[in-house]
Structure 1
Amino acid sequence: MMARNLLEDSTDPWKYAIISSKFLLFFIDGGISKSFGVLLPDVVDRYDSDFKTVAFVLGLPSTMMYFTAPITIFLMKIMTLRTMAMIGGLLCALPTICASWAPSIYILGMMLAVTGFGMALTYFPIMVSMNLFFTKSFIFANALTLFGRTFGAFLVPVITERSLEVYGYHGGFLILGGIALHTVVCGAIVRPPQEGRQDNLHSSDDAEGESLIKVPTSEQTDRRETATFLQKTIEEKSKKEEKMRSLGDHGDTSPWCSRNSFLAQLKSFIFVQEPMYTLVAPSMILQCFVHAAWVLFLVPHAEDAGINLSNAVFLSSIAGISGTFGRILYLVLLHFKFDNTIIFCFACFTCASSFFLDFVSSTYIFLAVMASIQGFTIFIFDCLPHAMMKLSVRDQKNIPRAIAANSFLYGIGYLSGDVISGCIYDVTSSFRTLFVVYGVLLVITTINLMIFKLIYRQK
């Protein structure tokens, strides 16, 4: 009975607050990323820099959020998840508020890197809480929270563009900093499930005939989880020491023992333990590459085609609205048990076709149609990394490590997407070339997913 209950979602009503928290965090992340596309030309002019450098700097918040998320595993030993998440909210907002006074592009980059690290301190606790509250329906719940990124993508850029007109460059960053300050609220919501644990205790005690115990408070639960985590770490260390001693009296200094220790560490690596996850990892990186670069360069691409800034920003809103319908369709397809891999393959191929057609026309109506198609499909396969992680990881004990590895893959994709796109534009001075590159990468992603599907079906 106990094992069966662990595979079910928590019955604690607080799980809806956790969903709201992740929704708000993604609203902030998506809104800021898209708003930086509005600020991109101003930042280039203000610091007399090139697109490659500025794209790298403005992409740092999302990049650092995912790159530094694995570091937060070690911080769990010294603080609760809620404390970590709230500190992250402050680190996210304060550098954004002060960013407009940065004297150089390098100082601006350091500020935005701190912003990304602060978002990581909030992001990882929320993801861990999501997996605790939604053990069974994680994919559906995660896809639901990604609506926040969609709403942020079409709402916050409009606010930023209007703020630039009314308050200027400094005012625009202050508004973004105020929006980022809501990350503290996201962190305050984090706590482990309680009523779900009470149900498990009821089931266990009914089966064994023991008396019920009272449900611990949130603070007691956090402390108990931390103590359990440390106890498991000590036990694992003791087992490793015993294994080392069993190899011989001089096992600690033997080269053969060192080699065995290295091989043992290598085998515990998530990409070795989960080969199917390793197989689908390239599609996760390429998806993040295309998403990050498209978000940053959509508005500059429209301006380069002769569209004024207000109408160019409105293309982001069109893409965001279209993406909302895309996410709704994805949830409906999940409800009717459609295959995730097939959905993502179709979305990637459709989006790639829209990128290949970019050279056809530069009229505003045509660009609006292409932006709607791209928003519709990109915000569908934006769900790809965590969905494919859940499908490809066979051992559920590896899920926390897979979440950390996913964050690292996110960081690689976002960083390479912004920097490489900036380099290509600096060399070619053509946004159409950029969009063709995105189409090629999505075709490669489709092939990778099809290979995964064939092997997955055989196994």
Structure 2
Amino acid sequence: MVDRRTPEMCEKEAESRASEGPPWPARFRSTSSCSSEGARAPSPADKQPAAPDGGWGWVVLLATILVLALTLAFPSCIGIFYTDLQSQFHANNSETSWVPSIMTAVLHAGGLGFCLSFQPAIAILGHYFVRRRAFANSLASTGTAIGLSTLPLFAHFLLTHMGWRGSFLILGAVLLNCCVCGAVMRPVHQGSKKPNRTRGQPDKIENELSSTGHHRASGKLAAFLAALQKHMAFDLFCSNKRYQIYSIGVTWMMLGFVVPLLYLVPYATSHGMEQKRAALLLSILGLINIFMRPLAGIISELHCFSGKHIYLFSGAVLVNGLSNCICGIGASFSVLLAFVGVYALSMSFIGSLLFQVLMEIVEMPRFPSALGLITIMESVTLLIGPPLGGLLVDSTQEYKYVFYACCCAMVSSALFMGVAFYLLERDERKTMDPPKHAAPLSLDCQYTGITPGSRAVQRSGSETEYITSV
């Protein structure tokens, strides 16, 4: 039966029901096809974002680049102040390394400081870009490269003229620009307005509350646990094997990914290199990333890598880990420059694909919670990585063993992710393949499958046709 009532007729009917008295509970109320928007159902176009892959999204992308330049690159600059902090507080390497490790861990998993700028910037970028998401992520990751190329030299300049205390004050003032970036990150508005509630019709939640009464304490606890499980992505971690493998692999990778940047300057200066020249190595690393990260995004969008981004990411992690072995050759500027070159190339692909792979593994509505759980997990390894490296330096009196340990962590995580995804996809292909049947007895007798209840119809000659459905 087709409902031919107009929106005006629906409005009058709602007013008459409201004048009759309080509405019936939800279980006694008859269903009506009228709504405040009329009988028309929202079309898919109405649900599309207002500015996908462009528009205000370019402003959001620019703000994200600046946020990443100020947040992710800053902990790496602590290596510039490493020797001064060590001499000022008479601390060993293990104790001094807690400064950058706590800063990096809070950046990924706190509710404090950099975390309030870093995570929202990454999450909102995925809502503004869908078709060009890989390219947008690679451009956003250039923010880290810009910070690595400029902040070390700027930090060395401040340290020379104002000491480490004055340098921290000025750098803190520069970091306040994240507030300006946050002001332009507007939520993506939907194309259609929310349907207004008709007068006399309470909300569904209010109906349930009125019919069932107040929730008990056990119900509230269950609802809280369910919300916690959803927003912390614990259900994804338990049900999505790809997300499970990726989160564990990235968490283990972070044990050796950031540590080389923290110990590069102390390693160079301990072998007689000037601090300004050692800081130049970090700037060169950042400059290579500036040009390579957009190129890495373009390469990752090639058709040959479609659906294989995880393998490209694992390969980049493997090369990045092996590059640490170059530091074991020596501490001269030419050797460390070669290390910086290989490390920067692989780091460009890691930075470009880190969030892109996660967006392909989980649905976009669950991406913020999935990102939150991964950052919480990796904050543990980011917290203990630098102190473990400092403990290794204190016990061996050699910085090169830190780079060897980072190599082991990176290579093992790369092999784990690549092999685990390959085995998972192979098992999925096996389950999707159709069952193989035995060869027919003769060429004119082909098995097409017989279901229970099928009828056999005898045709002329020796042919028999099986009717399995009508």
**TM-score by structure 2 length?**
0.70
- Work out which of the residue numbers 271, 285, 290 in structure 2 matches 1:324: 290
Q: 2:106 aligns with which of 56, 60, 64?
A: 64
Q: Which residue of 2 aligns with 1:184?
A: 179
Give the Cα separation in 1 of the matches to 2:53 and 2:314.
34
Deviation at 1:383, TM superposition (A): 3.7
| Residues 381-423 of structure 1: CA deviation (Å, up to 9, x unaligned) | 1344422322222x44422310211221342232122222222
Which of the numbers 393, 414, 417 marks the counterpart of 1:449? 417
Amino acid at match of 1:158: L
CA RMSD of aligned residues (A): 3.4
Q: Which residue of 1 aligns with 2:84?
A: 42
Question: 1:134 corresponds to which letter in structure 2?
Answer: F
Post-superposition offset of 1:161: 0.6
- TM-superposed CA distance for 1:252, in Å, is 7.7
Q: Classify 1:121/1:263 alpha carbon distance in 2 versus 1 (closer, same or farther; 3 Å).
A: closer
Cα 1:11–1:30 change in 2 (3 A) is closer
What is the CA deviation profile of residues 311-367 of structure 1, one whole-angstrom value per residue up to 9, with x for unaligned ones? 111111121122233313311212313232232232222222221232223321111
Mapped to 2, the partners of 1:260 and 1:8 lie a distance apart of: 33
The 3-state SS of whatever aligns with 2:83 is: helix
Q: Taking structure 1 as reference, are residues 143 and 118 closer, same or farther at Cα in structure 2, changes over 3 Å only?
A: same
Displacement of 1:25 in angstroms is 0.8
Question: 1:90 maps to what in 2?
Answer: none
Indicate whether 1:437 and 2:432 are aligned. Answer: no
Alignment of 1:44-443 (within 5 A): 44-69=86-111, 117-194=112-189, 197=190, 200-201=191-192, 269-337=235-303, 338=305, 339-393=308-362, 395-443=363-411
> Which stretches of structure 1, 4 residues or more, deviate above 4 A after TM superposition?
3-9, 251-254, 258-268
Gap change, CA 1:264 and 1:166, over 3 Å in 2: closer
The answer on whether the counterparts of 1:160 and 1:175 sit within 8 Å (CA) in structure 2 is: no
- Please give the alpha-carbon distance, in whole angstroms, between the structure 2 residues aligned to 1:262 and 1:171: 46
Uncovered stretches (5+) of structure 1, i.e. residues with no partner: 70-116, 202-212, 217-223, 225-230, 246-250
Which residue type is aligned with residue 157 of structure 1?
P
Q: 1:328 to 1:190 in 2, by over 3 A?
A: closer
What is the distance in 2 between the residues matched to 1:7 and 1:457?
32
SS at match of 2:181: helix
Kept in 1, the 8 Å contact 2:313–2:354? The answer is no
SS at match of 1:59: helix
User: What do residues 182-226 of structure 1 show as CA deviations (whole Å, max 9, x unaligned)?
Assistant: 1111111121124xx3xx33xxxxxxxxxxx7xx9xxxxxxx9xx
Q: CA deviation at 1:457?
A: 3.0
1:205 matched residue in structure 2:
none
* 1:281 positional shift: 1.4
Whether the aligned pair in 2 keeps the contact of 1:9 and 1:136 (CA below 8 Å) is no
Cα 1:39/1:252, change in 2 over 3 Å = closer
In structure 2, list runs of 5 or more residues that go unmatched. Answer: 1-42, 197-202, 429-470
Pairwise CA distance, 1:52:
1.7
Letter in 2 for 1:429: Q
Percent identity between the two aligned chains: 19
Corresponding letter in the other structure for 1:438: C
Bigger radius of gyration, 1 or 2?
Answer: 2
Q: Match of 2:448?
A: none
C-alpha distance in 1 between matches for 2:128 and 2:87: 47
Deviation at 1:290, TM superposition (A): 2.3
Is 1:286–1:441's contact at 8 Å kept on the other side of the alignment?
yes
Q: Distance in 2 between matches of 1:128 and 1:264?
A: 19
Structure 1 residues 448 and 384, CA gap change in structure 2 (3 angstroms): farther
Per the normalisation by structure 1, the TM-score is 0.71
Instruction: State the alpha-carbon separation in 2 of the partners of residues 182 and 265 from structure 1.
Output: 32
Give the one of 59, 64, 81 matched to 1:22.
64
Structure 1 residues 304 and 192 mapped into 2: Cα distance closer, same or farther (>3 Å)?
Answer: same
Tell me whether 132-141 or 346-355 shows the greater mean CA deviation: 132-141
The structural deviation recorded for 1:40 is 0.9
